[in-house]
Amino acid sequence: MNGEPAHERIAEFSCPIPISDHPNILLAHGGGGQLTHSLIEKMFAPAFRNSLLESRHDGAVLSFNGIRLAFTTDSHVVHPLFFPGGDIGTLAVNGTVNDLAMCGARPVYLSAGFIIEEGMPMETLWRVVQSMRCAAARDGVQLVTGDTKVVEKGKGDGLFINTSGIGILEHNLSIAPASVRDGDVILLSGDIGRHGIAIMAVREGLSFESAIQSDCASVAGPVMELLKTGIEIHCLRDLTRGGLATALVEITEVARLQADLEETAIPVREEVRGACELLGLDPLYVANEGRFVALVPSKDALQALTLMKSHSGDACVIGRVIAPQSRSFESGVVTIRSPIGASRIVDRLSGEQLPRIC
């Protein structure tokens, strides 16, 4: 056995997630919160260990003879396929475009892998393909390669779409959680919680006074403009599964810093807040599909805010990065100050709030 390379021997090791903990995959393993984190940290990261995976970012930044490219992938399983403000096609294109933008890359090329359930109406596929076409054209990205699989009726759910993407980095910044510094200002690109509530409303047959539309959109435009100004961007992160809270927990964990947020500064539309109260949800954890945070040094914060506000009037400063205020915070922490001044610790999403949100 000694002659075998290490990777041939690993199959003998036992599963790193003890059967006594989780013998089977739960919906929450795909929810973007605690269990997804545990699956990545305990199973995927050790198995595929390499320096690019270590960044724990929305994509990998690859170097080819001085040319830096971002590479990212996302499978989309949103249910229902069509929802107020978008559909699985717009989501599949925007989701991957946004992940490239979060690496500071200009999105250029996409792939699409369709997994279709037998019996899906051809017209439905056509509508989704048209949405993808429109979303790709809006961002000037080309869909250059693809794949189609069909599974038997009852072995899928209409349509799943994987999109992977390649973007070009046209600057020398290292935009990643590890670049975040004590004193950075945390900017949010707009109001939060709309995508999750829009999906939940359709799914649960809820109706509100005014229909809540998903915020599903590309954020490549504002990000490319931020980069053009030469602002020293430290980190970008789009707020998808797990919401604002989980995104900032993930960033501070890698950066080993503390993020202090002002709850009153975080924009949540009245109807979203009402729906959250009705459904027992915290808007901090609700998924978005067109929102991101930017972490920049305080010298650049005003310029970044002005530019972000030109895209969305709701863009704002929501807090600041500081050195850990307690020894127990040294692996990273997010705190939030309530309107009455009380401060609480925000953890990543635990359990599954809303499966198949994207």
Q: Which of residues 17-36 bind a second copy (CB under 8 A)?
A: 17, 19, 22-31, 36
Contact with a second copy (CB under 8 A) among 81, 88, 97, 112:
112
| Closest separation in Å from C-beta 246 to a second copy | 14
- Per-residue binder mask for a second copy (CB under 8 A), 46-85, x = binder: -xx-x-xx-----xx-x-xx-x-x-xxxxxxx-x------
- Give CA–CA dist 12/267, Å, rounded: 51
Token pair recorded at residue 338:
């309530």
| Closest separation in Å from C-beta 7 to a second copy | 4
Rule CB under 8 A: which of 210-239 touch a second copy? none
Considering only the stretches 144-152, 177-185, 254-262, 297-305, report the one whose residues sit in contact with a second copy under the rule CB under 8 A: 144-152
Q: 3-class DSSP state for residue 292?
A: strand
DSSP codes joined into one string, 225-280: HHHHHT----EEEE--TTHHHHHHHHHHHHHT-EEEEEGGGS---HHHHHHHHHHT
Looking at the Cβ atoms of 64 and 210, the one nearer to a second copy is 64
- Give CA–CA dist 115/211, Å, rounded: 30
> 302, 296, 348: which is closest to 320 by C-alpha?
296
| Closest separation in Å from C-beta 74 to a second copy | 5
Contact with a second copy (CB under 8 A) among 41, 80, 147, 330:
147
| Closest separation in Å from C-beta 340 to a second copy | 38
Considering only the stretches 42-50, 251-259, 300-308, 342-350, report the one whose residues sit in contact with a second copy under the rule CB under 8 A: 42-50
Is residue 126 a contact residue for a second copy (CB under 8 A)?
Answer: yes
Is residue 344 a contact residue for a second copy (CB under 8 A)?
Answer: no
Looking at the Cβ atoms of 54 and 277, the one nearer to a second copy is 54
| Closest separation in Å from C-beta 320 to a second copy | 30
Exposed/middle/buried for residue 60 (C-beta within 10 Å: 0-12, 13-18, 19+):
middle
Looking at the Cβ atoms of 220 and 315, the one nearer to a second copy is 220
Looking at the Cβ atoms of 148 and 325, the one nearer to a second copy is 148
Exposed/middle/buried for residue 279 (C-beta within 10 Å: 0-12, 13-18, 19+):
middle
Is residue 168 a contact residue for a second copy (CB under 8 A)?
Answer: yes
Considering only the stretches 38-46, 255-263, 314-322, 342-350, report the one whose residues sit in contact with a second copy under the rule CB under 8 A: 38-46
Separation of CA 107 from chain center: 16
> 219, 209, 323: which is closest to 269 by C-alpha?
209
Q: Which amino acid is at 94?
A: N
Contact with a second copy (CB under 8 A) among 111, 213, 303, 350:
111
Other Cβ atoms less than 10 A from the Cβ of 67: the count is 10
Please tell me the total number of residues recorded for the chain in this structure.
Answer: 358
Contact with a second copy (CB under 8 A) among 82, 84, 150, 262:
150
> 293, 285, 294, 287: which is closest to 348 by C-alpha?
285
- Give CA–CA dist 145/147, Å, rounded: 7
| Closest separation in Å from C-beta 5 to a second copy | 7
Is residue 310 a contact residue for a second copy (CB under 8 A)?
Answer: no
Contact with a second copy (CB under 8 A) among 82, 84, 120, 282:
120
Q: What single DSSP character describes residue 65?
A: T
Is residue 117 a contact residue for a second copy (CB under 8 A)?
Answer: yes
Rule CB under 8 A: which of 1-20 touch a second copy? 5, 7-8, 10-11, 13, 15-17, 19
Exposed/middle/buried for residue 123 (C-beta within 10 Å: 0-12, 13-18, 19+):
exposed
Contact with a second copy (CB under 8 A) among 41, 80, 144, 343:
144
Token pair recorded at residue 98:
């946004």
State the number of binding residues for a second copy (CB under 8 A): 93
Q: Whose structure tokens read 């690496």?
A: 103
